[in-house]
Amino acid sequence: MLRPILRYGADALHAVAKPVDNFGTDLQTLIDDMIETMYAAPGVGLAAPQVGVALRVFVADPSSGQSTSELRVLVNPEIVQQEGAQREEEGCLSLPGFTARVARSTQLVLRGLDRDGTPVQLEAEGLQARVFQHEVDHLDGTIFVNRLQGIKRDLIVRRVRKLQRAGKW
């Protein structure tokens, strides 16, 4: 089932998500819905808070569905190692129509659980590392615009507020 994606400004996007401790049917349904929603959007990642669920879960597929072997589901993820630096253009399904260059690590190691609760450790680089960092940020209540400074951040925030006032957000 497709779920509505919350937009920048929604309180749920700015709160720290809670760890998952129940891997039952509700979680499995959430994950399936998130995958369907991410691909329909279309996007390369989606975190549970973006669909209004305050749990530490994200789905990601840097290939945008071109290679289903790249689909990853991570529950209770934590970044345990980061290296390098990249500064690339980034967007967000919760901030449609806006992009900016965001600094991220080029390589990382991520630990968490798969959808069944089995421990996993993933190594990522390049775009996949960027996507994982972006989604972990969502679980911590951070949106990419929060990582920007100065005029670029102010410009995006002002444009969103203007759209909100006009009832178009």
Catalytic residue list: 135
Name the residue among 75, 60, 59 with its Cα closest to residue 23: 75
Yes or no: say if 45 and 131 are a contact pair by the CB < 8 Å rule: yes
Taking the CA of residue 163 as centre, how many other CA atoms within 13 Å lie in the half-sphere pointing to its CB? 15
Q: Give the integer Cα–Cα distance in Å for 123 and 74.
A: 13
Q: Does the CA dihedral 95-97-102-106 come out positive or negative? A: positive
Q: Give the integer Cα–Cα distance in Å for 98 and 78.
A: 27
